[in-house]
Structure 1
């Protein structure tokens, strides 16, 4: 029952009429609730439409289960977001959400995480450590594994580099002797000191040339300027650089070798209107470049040698195929020396082309070079020889001998040397060259070898049936030649002894001078033995021939005296020929303080210092069964004989 004075909460009076306000308020709340329900439903539908994936035609219960399993915890507990579309997962790793949409890659990552956690658990159980400590151990192990992987990569790279080096060496060996190009350090420390001294001499000669005459043919060490002999014409050809390259390489003077190589690459221009000696150009330039190629495998040297040799080819355009002595490298015109007997070619010059041209044909596939020198050999083999001897002069047009002057020294020397070395270069398979050499030596024995009253054996000169009792410094090379040719002869001990006898005589020509250096020529007239008589024979121009014979005699006999004699020569060179600007020749070996000629010959670096270095080296450096030295001491590899119809590579057939 209502309390007097109080009205029900739902009853009010308006203008004296009671109104039920409670019912009206209830209806308003219901409207709000209904509106809220509709809004919620609308938002759910809107969200479902735009955010739920389209699973039509491809979603099954099993696929959905697999999808959830592969999604892992990140489906329900997303990682922390970071800028750039990246997330940090529960392990602290950063994930690019744009790249982890592929479920296969995501599955792999989950599998790795599971495997990692399993490994940590197993390791923790084995080590009985807390998981935090185990995690540190695991990380350390992983780091070690990464280091091992890096080491394996480095090792693999080293293996690849070694394989490439071996492949390069194999290619090199196919075009060169491939063995004994460096090293040869003697076991005896005292001998090594002497070898190092020779290397220091080479450095002084090279550095002086580089400082005062770079690019010139030769050096004037006293004047400290460039020099050029007539054999080089008027051109600046850097003869010393090319002559020295193989010596620098053998002595392992790599920086100097590279400087020389770079000059050849950029500055060696075998052009211009100049007349050159065919012989000197061949033995110094073609031989020097081919030797540098054979030793280093650098194709640049082969290409340059080929270019120079092509410039010499016009000299062979004669009825007999015997080359002229001079060629103009621009016009191609050729001629012989005016002083040579009746316009003749010279025996040593025409006969000292074979080693270089045959090897050039082998490495280029161009048979033209070998064809030229084999034609010379065949002609000289067939021609009639007076008393079995080869005179120094022959006419290239008629094929007739000039003046009957025979010498194993100047004008004739290297012809005989190359007969023997053709056979050696062929791997001792060329019977024609061997027979020509044996026949020539037999004739020399019969007509030219003499013994002085003092018991010195020497090779005289033979002129029109009479002997001139003298021997040139140039002829002293033959002691080494006789020793080198002993193997393969009918009487090897006889020829080895002949080499020893000549070596002894040539040493006497040095020992009987005031400077302990030998004269250009020495005689055996009356009371004179192994001494120069004429003033124009008393000079010494840094020649190598006596040292060349010491080298071969040391290799074949191992008698200490040859090294002792070589060291005497080193001391004499240092005393009388060394200047602060290089090395010079002297005008009279019989004077205590001789006048100097002021020329450092290019062959001093190519031959003299090389032979001295080899004498004080082990035999493994340039072994004589792998290498043959041309008459300028440029080593070329022993290889097969090039034949006109020989099989060559398909790429080279076009050159034949």
Structure 2
């Protein structure tokens, strides 16, 4: 969920082209390290083939051992305000319609789960058009593990018991993948096991057993000179006793989004090494936070080897997102026993509000917000926000909403709602009723007074011609581009028209509904779900789509595990009783796995 395309427009063509090159070039290792696609169904889906000659991970002496672990804080907890709205009793009619919608979501999940179980059992991902499978996350049955707590939440306990039986066959000590994406493995596998463990209150020992296996495996990626993890981990080097080094180009989110899972491991097992590992990262991020090119924020790429922050690109979207998301959530999981995460959050929010948030110009006058990007490499562009709307950024409304409640920043709840409303608006304006991966909007010059200006929209469209073509400075040229590119009013460019079954929009819609009790968010969720179900349903499951500008978009042959772990879970929860996964009892990781708050 980290792969994104970045573009920044500057007044001159030369600067535009240079910045375009910078932001469309993915950093080394940004691609998945190992993806294998099988276009035909597998016949024996009981257990992946084993090869006894493969390298296996075992515990061994570390190259750079820790003599004294940083332990979980033991100071008294600080009171954390209530997050959820006090929902009144609902009428029987409201309950009936809510449950009908909830059951529709459950039916969609059961359809996708059956397709996975019948055609890709114990594999990472189902290919929803061909009925084949993909190996994309080390081959450890990513969809199965990622979906465990969704099965519990939806009451599908027979399916859950089948998944637990299959879990016995997963060997987390070996893989055909040469590199391990530590971040993805952490949030999907470790997070999935811990979420299922917490929901079942430790009833199934295999869950914490397997969680410990994968956590101990991942811990090996921290065995570097400065204890920063090698985020794209050459695990076979570590397994054979060779030295590893953190990368000079580490994606921020991959470094700063290990907190919740490793903290929960220390809370559950009493082993402080997990918390020690992530606390060193947190201290490193906090120490540099006010000295970056955009004080309060961290750039997209971090030099984890030399501990430098020289990359000029800043975003709260892909490549950075969950680092910011985890600040209030880690505060909650630690029961407010340290104020460190509150300090970091409160340092990040001012530059986010002042420099990244923008109101788009809309024909209907919708007062909504989005978060853009900053390129801080040149003085001329340091204060200019690039008006990129990205589906991955839609998590921000929920994060700001939680921060507003947890840290008593009540004035920011309005911002949280406007950010969430912006993503709903982006869904509603598309012919498919679904927001694209990446689009560029016409930003308002004045966020308080922003009437529709057709000429400004035309100018913004002409400023982003496809393939850097020379476009005449006329209304007719802009209108031709608008028609050719399928742009709707207020949208200057659609840089990536796909929908990848992503959860970020419904995530914030769910959180803001639980915070405010405003039923308009349930209404929006139902519109979103119906449009997604219509466009993505296949014979086997659900598929990503190629172009949301089309009423009947072409489907693509992949379905990431987060469709079952996150997207359908959030749709189900927004139509559930509010005490099911209450935000006052659970913290959800960035893959929507619920960790029980200790208090």
Name the TM-score, length of structure 2 as normaliser: 0.72
Determine the C-alpha separation between the residues in 2 that align with 1:303 and 1:219.
26
Determine the C-alpha separation between the residues in 2 that align with 1:210 and 1:294.
24
Of residues 198, 208, 211, the one that matches 1:302 is: 208
Determine the C-alpha separation between the residues in 1 that align with 2:315 and 2:235.
30
Per the TM alignment, residue 488 of structure 1 is displaced from its structure 2 partner at its CA by 3.8
SS at 2:224 equivalent: coil
> Number of matched residues?
448
SS at 1:388 equivalent: coil
Is 1:561 equivalent to 2:532 in the alignment? Answer: no
The structure whose RCO (Cα within 8 Å, separation 6+) is larger is 2
Is 1:462 equivalent to 2:374 in the alignment? Answer: yes
Q: Which residue of 2 aligns with 1:426?
A: 334
Q: Which residue of 2 aligns with 1:510?
A: 427
Q: Contact (CA 8 Å) 1:358, 1:370: kept in 2 or not?
A: yes
Of residues 523, 529, 535, the one that matches 1:570 is: 529
Q: Contact (CA 8 Å) 1:519, 1:540: kept in 2 or not?
A: yes
SS at 1:583 equivalent: coil
Determine the C-alpha separation between the residues in 2 that align with 1:530 and 1:323.
45
Q: Contact (CA 8 Å) 1:279, 1:349: kept in 2 or not?
A: yes
Change (3 A) 1:420 1:310: same
Is 1:501 equivalent to 2:415 in the alignment? Answer: no
Per the TM alignment, residue 487 of structure 1 is displaced from its structure 2 partner at its CA by 1.7
Determine the C-alpha separation between the residues in 1 that align with 2:489 and 2:118.
39
Is 1:486 equivalent to 2:486 in the alignment? Answer: no
Per the TM alignment, residue 556 of structure 1 is displaced from its structure 2 partner at its CA by 1.2
Q: How does 1:465-476 map to 2 (within 5 A)?
A: 465=382, 466-476=384-394
Q: Contact (CA 8 Å) 2:128, 2:558: kept in 1 or not?
A: yes
Q: Which residue of 2 aligns with 1:599?
A: 558
SS at 1:579 equivalent: coil
List runs of 5+ in structure 1 lacking aligned partners: 1-179, 338-342, 641-656
Q: Contact (CA 8 Å) 2:438, 2:496: kept in 1 or not?
A: yes
Q: Deviation string for 1:610-648 (max 9, x for gaps)?
A: 0001100111101111100000000001127xxxxxxxx
SS at 1:399 equivalent: coil
Shifted more, 463-472 versus 286-295: the winner is 463-472
Determine the C-alpha separation between the residues in 2 that align with 1:185 and 1:287.
33
Change (3 A) 1:612 1:335: farther
Q: How does 1:192-231 map to 2 (within 5 A)?
A: 192-229=99-136
Q: Deviation string for 1:85-122 (max 9, x for gaps)?
A: xxxxxxxxxxxxxxxxxxxxxxxxxxxxxxxxxxxxxx
SS at 1:636 equivalent: strand
List runs of 5+ in structure 2 lacking aligned partners: 1-83, 377-381, 443-455, 462-487
Q: Deviation string for 1:49-95 (max 9, x for gaps)?
A: xxxxxxxxxxxxxxxxxxxxxxxxxxxxxxxxxxxxxxxxxxxxxxx
Determine the C-alpha separation between the residues in 1 that align with 2:489 and 2:140.
37
Per the TM alignment, residue 238 of structure 1 is displaced from its structure 2 partner at its CA by 0.5
Q: Which residue of 1 aligns with 2:347?
A: 439
Of residues 299, 302, 322, the one that matches 1:414 is: 322
Shifted more, 446-455 versus 354-363: the winner is 446-455
SS at 1:433 equivalent: helix
Q: Deviation string for 1:499-549 (max 9, x for gaps)?
A: 110111111111111111110012113526897665651100100000001
Per the TM alignment, residue 362 of structure 1 is displaced from its structure 2 partner at its CA by 1.4
Of residues 237, 240, 244, the one that matches 2:140 is: 237
Q: How does 1:136-535 map to 2 (within 5 A)?
A: 188-229=95-136, 232=137, 235-274=138-177, 275-296=179-200, 297=202, 298-332=204-238, 343-383=248-288, 384-386=291-293, 387-454=295-362, 455-464=367-376, 465=382, 466-492=384-410, 494-525=411-442, 526-527=456-457
Determine the C-alpha separation between the residues in 1 that align with 2:104 and 2:245.
44
SS at 1:252 equivalent: coil
SS at 1:471 equivalent: strand
Q: Contact (CA 8 Å) 1:271, 1:329: kept in 2 or not?
A: no
Per the TM alignment, residue 273 of structure 1 is displaced from its structure 2 partner at its CA by 4.7
Q: How does 1:122-133 map to 2 (within 5 A)?
A: none
Name the TM-score, length of structure 1 as normaliser: 0.66
Q: Contact (CA 8 Å) 2:172, 2:213: kept in 1 or not?
A: no
